[in-house]
Amino acid sequence: MPDIQTQGTEEVHPDVLLVNRAREGDVQAFEKLVKQYDRQVFRIAQHITQNREDAEDVVQDSFLKAYEKLDQFQGNSKFYTWLVRIAVNEALMRLRKRRTGRMVSIDEDVETEEGSMPRDLADWGPDPEQQYSQSELAEILRKTIQGLPPGFRVVFVLRDVEGLSTEETAETLGLSVPAVKSRLLRARLQLRERLSRYFRKDKRNGGAK
Amino acid sequence: MTCTEFIALLDDLMDDRVSAALRAELEEHLRGCEHCVVTLNTTRKTIEIYRSHELYELPNDLRSRLHKAILAKCKKC
């Protein structure tokens, strides 16, 4: 068992130790943090920007910004959550640049009533994804989530794909906990509804009735 | 309990944030409502599918290019 530094009775998260070393100029410690979280940052950036080049830029800029701002990292939130907040802001900024003249925010298009009540009530087969090849399935999943309003998509991605808690998601996006919960429910229900078109049980026997 | 009330509590049920008493009420509703059973199961499955499939893979060559670029700039900071 390696020695873990403690503060009082609480264990210090290994990331905090890396952050402390990086603050003192240890670039290799920062590199470890990059390697640990670059995939997640890339994924989040892709989901928000829907653009490969932008996502690459977001990865670079987010880590650089994090490095420059390491002194501002308080250690009372997780490093990962703090980093994700930077990445989400960078990604939204990129999205705005691409869509000049159109306001883009996480509040966009969330006033829709769609998805409050399920309409397609057909059950799915036991292994619905087996009906498709891996690449077909990935395409279906990408297309389906891209159809969500950005404000729902980002909540679903942070909470359900990246595994942040509801509170962390709220903190990251500057939303209230009830707002996150309401968006998450509608995002989940809308995705479920849209995926039903592909995964419903009677799909192979002629599709929708 | 109506279906609308059930759906409003769907996330809390899936995330295990309901009291034992409320859970009993939700389960009671499920016993008599096939629609809500389907909604619950397929919503769970939706989350599971998104969690278990990598939609945006970061290829190794791009990854190392990004690392190099980031670290080169960090060293200049």
Residue range A53-63, pLDDT digits in tens: 999 999 999 99
Confidence of residue A116 (pLDDT cuts 50, 70, 90): low
Section A128-149 average pLDDT: 92
- Looking at CA atoms only, how far is residue A52 from chain B in angstroms? 9
Residue B34 amino acid letter = E
Q: Which residues pair with A200 in a beta bridge?
A: A124
Residues in chain A: 209
In the predicted model, is pLDDT for residue A206 greater than 70? Answer: no
Residue B51 confidence (pLDDT): 95
- The pLDDT of A81-101, averaged and rounded, is 87
Size of interface A-B (CB pairs under 8 A): 107
Residue A128's pLDDT band (cuts 50, 70, 90): confident
Which residues of B are less than 8 Å from A55 in CB distance?
56
User: With bands split at pLDDT 50, 70 and 90, how would you rate the model's confidence at A105?
Assistant: low
The ipTM value here is 0.90
A66-94 mean pLDDT: 91
What DSSP character marks residue A10?
E
* CA distance linking residue A159 with residue A180, whole number of Å: 9
Low-confidence ranges of chain B (pLDDT < 70): 77
Query: CB distance A188–B69 less than 8 Å?
Result: no
Q: Which two tokens stand for residue A161?
A: 């794909």
pLDDT of residue A208: 41
Instruction: Give A87: exposed, middle or buried? Use CB within 10 Å, 0-12, 13-18, 19+.
Output: buried
Cβ under 8 Å to A: B residues 7-66: 7-8, 10-11, 15, 35, 38-39, 41-43, 45-47, 49-51, 53-56, 58, 62-63, 66
**H or E stretch covering A7:** strand A6-7
Please answer yes or no on whether A31 and B67 come within 8 Å at the CB atom.
Answer: yes
Averaged pLDDT, A80-98? 91
**What's the mean pLDDT in A180-191?**
94
Query: What structural domains and CATH numbers belong to chain A?
Result: 6-98 (1.10.1740.10), 128-205 (1.10.10.10)
pLDDT digits (tens, 9 = 90+) for A1-55: 455 554 555 678 888 899 999 999 898 999 999 999 999 999 999 999 999 999 9
